[in-house]
Structure 1
């Protein structure tokens, strides 16, 4: 997409929102990251709305990533994103009903591609299948694609590189970005964005949460 990939800070660990997400955001709100989000589980909707409102008040762009696979669960996740006034809905297995709901509610939608199972999620499938799947969704008007690249059971670096190269819409590489080696691979591939959640909570980038966020942000902008 031409610019340095954007960091989306996810207040999540093992694909679940951490219970003290509000307090952690409050401590890190002055970090350099502009994009923030979390998952649809397990916080009550009222807490989700409060945190997303706070993020917006701080000038952040907001993301809800839904790790659900049935149509009803995915629709419920989309409803939560709208109820929280999110800017972006990431994840979900693609369903026309979810896409139509997002379009009606002016919610930017980036569905998963490939065969996704489990929580934390695992990605299977071939590059060709994922490209074809993505193109079908793009033809239906999605904003972009959520690629669980480093959750892939095959060669993740090869998948990320070739998938992004074949896309003309924003791609977010999500999940298990937990080293400078992977950050460099992402820089080289240059997707629109990438997420980091658990790696910050596991101190993979060495420092306080805010220090780690700024280290990653600066590394990607170098």
Structure 2
């Protein structure tokens, strides 16, 4: 069980694609106080992604790029893009042997997907046991800084999956995809995850019902604070923050 709030990572994405007006929307995200911001490697041409990356870094936020590539050549290009963009964290992908040589010598943290990833938008296939095993093997690789778990893209016992993966590895686990209601956010907090991403749910006004993105993010952050406080109150004493 987590005793501290996970990082709130806002993705300027909808349905696994960077939104067309990401640079404009960034102002609302920053205005809401978010300091972990990312986007996907598809949806905008590279020149616009570079402009977006520069604006995020200039604002002092941590920059994330999430890979949705399904083949090795595309994943290689995505890793090269991460280096050129100067991201802080490269998330996703399934091929450390391809990506790590490209990231060598940089300070980029790498969080690949455990389990079998199929389709677009991405789905996570396998059983809890096979995904936990995949997570354990990936986390043991030098150069893998953490994991990007598509928990709510899994057709099974999601809460068990999150808790088992977080307990199985000693590196940060970020939960990505489809966190579109308070019950799911609460499950993420309880799992002990280091962070979670939210994007499509925000652009669909899932928490506030408002088309105003800044108000939507404020509702999400308020929900996270309330959930974290509730989890801390009900946690065993040994798990409470000092």
User: So what's the TM-score if we normalise by structure 1?
Assistant: 0.95
* 2:117 alignment partner, SS class: strand
Is 1:216 matched up with 2:220? Answer: yes
- In structure 2, the partner of 1:93 is 94
Measure, in 2, the Cα distance between the counterparts of 1:25 and 1:174: 19
- In structure 2, the partner of 1:77 is 78
The question of whether the paired residues in 1 share the 8 Å contact of 2:173 and 2:193 is answered with yes
Q: Could you list the per-position Cα deviations for residues 143-195 of structure 1 after superposition, in whole angstroms to 9, with x for gaps in the alignment?
A: 00000000001121221122112221000100000001111111211200101
* 2:65 alignment partner, SS class: strand
- In structure 2, the partner of 1:180 is 182
Deviation of 1:2 (Å): 5.0
The question of whether the paired residues in 1 share the 8 Å contact of 2:132 and 2:161 is answered with no
The question of whether the paired residues in 2 share the 8 Å contact of 1:173 and 1:195 is answered with yes
The question of whether the paired residues in 2 share the 8 Å contact of 1:35 and 1:63 is answered with yes
- In structure 1, the partner of 2:173 is 171
- In structure 1, the partner of 2:145 is 143
- In structure 1, the partner of 2:193 is 191
Structure 2: state its 5+ residue gaps. Answer: 227-242
Measure, in 2, the Cα distance between the counterparts of 1:185 and 1:129: 21
Larger radius of gyration: 2
Q: Which runs of 4+ in 1 moved over 4 A?
A: none
Measure, in 1, the Cα distance between the counterparts of 2:70 and 2:94: 5
* 1:203 alignment partner, SS class: coil
* 1:113 alignment partner, SS class: coil
Is 1:29 matched up with 2:33? Answer: no
User: So what's the TM-score if we normalise by structure 2?
Assistant: 0.87
Segment drifting more, 126-135 vs 183-192: 126-135
Alignment of 1:51-130 (within 5 A): 51-130=52-131
Measure, in 2, the Cα distance between the counterparts of 1:210 and 1:143: 31
- In structure 1, the partner of 2:232 is none
Structure 1: state its 5+ residue gaps. Answer: none
* 1:168 alignment partner, SS class: coil
Measure, in 2, the Cα distance between the counterparts of 1:217 and 1:136: 33
